[in-house]
Structure 1
Amino acid sequence: MSSESRRFGFRPTAEDVHLFRLAVPALGNLVAEPLFLLADSAIVGHLGTPQLAGLAAASALLATLTYLCVFLAYGTTAAVGRRIGAGDLPGAVRQGVDGMWLGVILGVVLGLGGIVFAEPLVRMFGASHEAVPYGVTYLRVASLGQPAMLVVLASTGVLRGLQDIRTTLVVAASGAGANVVLNYVLVYPLGMGIAGSATGTVLTQYGMAAAYSAVVYKAARRYGAPLRPDREGIKQAASASVPLLIRTILLRMALLAGTILAARYGTEALAAQQVAWSLWGFLALVLDALAIAGQAWISQLLGGSDVEGARRATRRTMQWGVVTGVVLGLVVLATRQLFIPLFTEDEVVRHLLSEVLLLEVLFLPIAAPVFVLDGILIGAGDGRYLAWVGVVTTAVYLGAALSSYAGGGGLMGLWWALGVFMVARLVVLVVRIRTDRWIVTGGGGAGGGAGLREGDVVVSGEVAAVTQTP
């Protein structure tokens, strides 16, 4: 390692190794999950265009529900990580079980809603008249898997809190493979059509939920944590999740607003926006992996009252985030003229996309610390702050986007508004991280994290049995 590298603080350390041991499996897990939809699309697409269109409407709704319920994973990660850091293994497992029961309850409610209101929901998501029956069929069958899907989200949070991200990768990858096999067999050899695709996905979801539940069951038995539903614990898990749900809804609003305004500039602008957003989302997965790693790491350090370690981990994760953002931007800059033709033959769309990608290159180094700090504050249990500043930054974005639209700024104007959004988020996150208000130590946490309850036991000597320390 050169002296220049050491001067800028990027000499690899044991902490770097630990960070990437968490981040790399997390990235694999994040990439494995979208394969569910890709597999369904590829298999159903050969049934016909109406079937594929019906799948598109139903899966858009299901993807939105999953996106909004991701607070189950984030909230459980922070709560479990804190308990682990504090040496309270029974409490950590109990916190995870509470989150899983909350997932079951929400999954039953959402699943019933999907079955009962399938037709109006599919129509609301833009399905054509001939595609509606297929979308309704898919949604009704897929809704049966909602309890399992939300248990998977909560269970993923449990294992992230334990810093056992490798298991989540194995389960996600195995699930993705099983989903392909089941969907193909049920759709074609067994002739179930689009219902077979939904059935295969549901069976996969319950298989993954069972695998995660087995891991949690084993931990609960080992440390004497109860598995039965605990009303107070579930209420605390739900209460702690509300700020994260608000934050997620606000981010979704910003995404939808950008797409809606892009559509007003015409078909070419909307097409370019779709590709640009898809690429941005893919690149965000890499940054999200670092955010998840930081989230799990910080929650344990704060739970163990290691304030200096938490600040050091925050700085290091941010450094790697910025480096990753710069590298990703340079890769996009160097290759954009090679991959743009893969998406479209329309010269107008190609030109718009080429311009927008230059802004993505510019914004990635800004987005990187935003993603990382967002994950770290979630790990610290600072959800209330994220919710409040989310209101402010979303208002800033909507104001910038609407002003650009009113001034005829075109698609580039909308992406400049995204840049304003990222800068606003960066400012409020950096301001917070430079204070001590997000640093709350011990097994409880800030922003709604559950505190110690009667009967919780601290067994600090056993922490090493379930965590991976650098």
Structure 2
Amino acid sequence: MSSPATDESIDPSAVPSVRTILHLSVSALAVLVAEPLYLMEDLAVVGRLGAVALAALGVGSLILGVVSTQLTFLSYGTTARSSRLFGRGDRTGAVAEGIAASWIAVVVGLVIVGVMQVIAPWVVGVIAPSGGVSGEATGWVRIAVCGVPLILLSMAGNGWMRGVQDTRRPVVYVAVGLGVSAVICPLLVHGLLGFPDMGLHGSAVANLVGQSISGLLFAQRLLAERSSTGLRPRWATIRAQLALARDLIVRSLSFQVCFLSAAAVAARFGVASLAAHQLVLQLWNFVSLLLDSLAIAAQSLVGAALGAKAIPGAIGVARRVTVLSVAASLGLVALFAAGQPVLARIFTDDRDVLDAVVTPWWFFVAMLPVAGVVFALDGVLLGGGDAAYLRTTTVVCALVGFLPMIWASLAFDWGLAGIWTGLCLFMLFRLVALVARMSTGRWTAIELR
């Protein structure tokens, strides 16, 4: 087996330096922001086709995100389990977690492809009943969803490689795949340089090609590890991962139900409102992943520290990551507040969409400092294996904060202001729940099976 690209100098029993945290987070950031950056380029390319195509892309990418991110445990859960083993000095066991996750990714991914080919028109119709938007979005989903098994394989690969603190290869794998997508997307959408003029469907094909390349690179890396672990699935490991998956899937579903409901209600306010909502939501997703890079560093380091029974080190990670995350969020506040008139025009020149985007934009800016704390503490608790608490509190916050405001916005015609008020309440309630959990210290005493 080739030597791993791992930062072996990291001592899981010591409080990591800011430099160590930033080293891990920058690597995670490169992986996390690659896809949102591509999606923003995709929005800009497709936006030139008009509001209907832009709204259809928003709906299609939302659905693809829903069906692929329900298995976030392949990444986050695997990192938590793999980093614990890595902290104990068991690299072979840490890689075995990645093999188990990859088997789950392939099997479940193929099932998702088959189901979505059948139900895509119905799912799209629930969110966007407009005939023009619905038809375009359905075609986009049917093409792009074929890449789900490889998307999930990439998630599993990121999970175990973060766990063993292999920070370089995932960056290369994701950059290569999405770099290809970024190049061919405008060529296929607008028929440039002799490529077929596929319109919106060209965006889906570009997405599929890039995700496939990245997934195959992660698979190749796992094959390179087979000499020490073998590739046969360990059923005990798979069962343990599925137990953790239960909590993370319920948590993820609560997010997706909220965002699907928000998109469905925004669609009732017109095509411009839906396009504006999805545009700002893509920015929110981008910022979320940006802050999540610090949370992933916390998750890996907290997991390793707890695996080494170094509780002070885990607490030190929590404090330092939270400070860094809040500082980053304040920088983003300044960027998006000052740049609103210019940044919105990057994605569309439709006058109605630009008018509608102003309202959700300022809610988005106001939420950023809260998000800085929430995402950091999310990463700490995931690293501690506290998925059950995160599941319960996320569901409660969604039911009490986000969902009531979404549907009240439809009933009382509050528009996008009501929808984004619900998102603000959701984040504030989560902040309270996370701070309360951190103060008890119980997250440091959870044993993973």
TM bucket (normalised to shorter chain) is 0.7 to 0.9
| Aligned equivalents of 1:71, 1:333: Cα separation in 2 | 34
The answer to whether the 8 Å contact 1:57/1:127 transfers is no
Alignment RMSD (CA, Å): 3.6
Shift of 1:387: 0.8
Give the direction of change, closer, same or farther, for the CA distance of 1:296–1:265 in structure 2 (3 Å limit): same
Equivalent position amino acid for 1:422 in 2: M
Is 1:210 the counterpart of 2:237 in the alignment? no
Match of 1:366 in 2: 370
Tell me which residue corresponds to 2:339: 335
User: How far is the alpha carbon of 1:202 from its aligned partner?
Assistant: 4.0
SS at match of 1:165: coil
Change (3 A) 1:130 1:274: closer
- Which piece of structure 1 moves more, 198-207 or 73-82? 198-207
- Structure 2 vs 1, CA of residues 118 and 19 (structure 1 numbering), >3 Å: closer, same or farther? same
- Per the alignment, do residues 127 and 32 of structure 1 end up closer, same or farther by CA in structure 2, a change over 3 Å counting? farther
Residues 1:152 and 2:151 are matched in the alignment: no
Say if 2:249 is the partner of 1:249. Answer: no
Equivalent residue, structure 2, for 1:79: 81
* Alpha-carbon shift at residue 151 of structure 1 (Å): 0.8
- Between the aligned partners of 1:44 and 1:265, the Cα distance in structure 2 is 22
- What does the per-residue CA deviation read over 1:427-460, in whole Å, with 9 as the maximum and x for residues that have no partner? 11011111121113xxxx54xx4x2xxxxxxxxx
Gaps of 5+ in 2: 1-14
Per the alignment, residue 466 of structure 1 pairs with none
Q: Does 1:390 align with 2:394?
A: yes
Instruction: Determine if the alignment matches structure 1 residue 278 to structure 2 residue 292.
Output: no
Q: Please tell me whether the aligned partners of residues 78 and 378 of structure 1 are also in contact (alpha carbons under 8 angstroms).
A: yes
Secondary structure of residue in 1 paired with 2:442: coil
Residue matched to 1:416:
421
What is the SS of the residue equivalent to 1:299?
Answer: helix
Aligned to 1:94: 96
Q: Structure 1 CA distance, aligned partners of 2:44 and 2:344?
A: 22
Match of 1:300 in 2: 304
> In 1, distance between residues paired with 2:261 and 2:47?
29
User: Paired residue for 2:4?
Assistant: none
Structure 2 residue 111 is the aligned partner of structure 1 residue 106: no
SS of structure 1 residue aligned to 2:176? helix
User: What percent of counterpart residues are identical?
Assistant: 33
Secondary structure at 1:152 match in 2:
helix
Between the two proteins, the alignment pairs up a number of residues equal to 429
Deviations 1:368-408 (A, max 9, x none): 11111112211211111111111211112133555676666
Structure 1 residues 428 and 178: CA distance shift in structure 2, 3 A: same
Q: Distance in 2 between matches of 1:133 and 1:403?
A: 28
Gap regions ≥5 residues in structure 1: 1-12, 452-470
Q: Deviations over 1:217-247 (max 9, x none)?
A: 33342xx213112333222212211111111
Alignment-derived partner of residue 436 in structure 1: 441
Quickly say closer, same or farther: Cα 1:389–1:261, change in 2 above 3 A: same
Q: Return 258-267 or 310-319, whichever deviates more.
A: 258-267
What is aligned with 1:462? none
Contact 1:250–1:391 (CA under 8 A) maintained in structure 2: yes
| Residue type at the aligned position of 1:212 | F
Amino acid at match of 1:333: A
Q: Retained in 1: the 8 A contact 2:73–2:244?
A: no
Deviation at 1:325, TM superposition (A): 1.6
- Relative to structure 1, the CA distance from residue 214 to residue 371 in structure 2 (aligned partners, 3 Å threshold; closer, same or farther) is same
Give the direction of change, closer, same or farther, for the CA distance of 1:47–1:395 in structure 2 (3 Å limit): closer
Distance in 2, Cα, partners of 1:81 & 1:226: 20
Matches for 1:222-237 after TM superposition, within 5 Å: 224-237=228-241
Higher mean Cα deviation, 253-262 or 317-326? 253-262
Match of 1:427?
432
| Residues in 2 aligned to 1:424 and 1:279: alpha-carbon distance in whole angstroms | 22
The separation in 1 between residues aligned to 2:285 and 2:373, in whole angstroms, is: 16
Deviation digits for residues 109-150 of structure 1, max 9, x if unmatched? 112223444554555554876787876665555444322221
Which one is further off, 258-267 or 26-35?
A: 258-267
- Measured after TM superposition, the shift of residue 363 of structure 1 is 2.4
Higher helix proportion: 2
Q: Secondary structure at the match of 2:440?
A: coil
The answer on whether the counterparts of 1:47 and 1:193 sit within 8 Å (CA) in structure 2 is: no
Summarize the Cα distance change of 1:192–1:330 in structure 2 as closer, same or farther, 3 Å threshold.
closer
Give the AA of the match of 2:438: I
Aligned twin of 1:464: none
Which residue identity does 2:225 align to in structure 1?
A
> What amino acid is the match of 1:213?
A
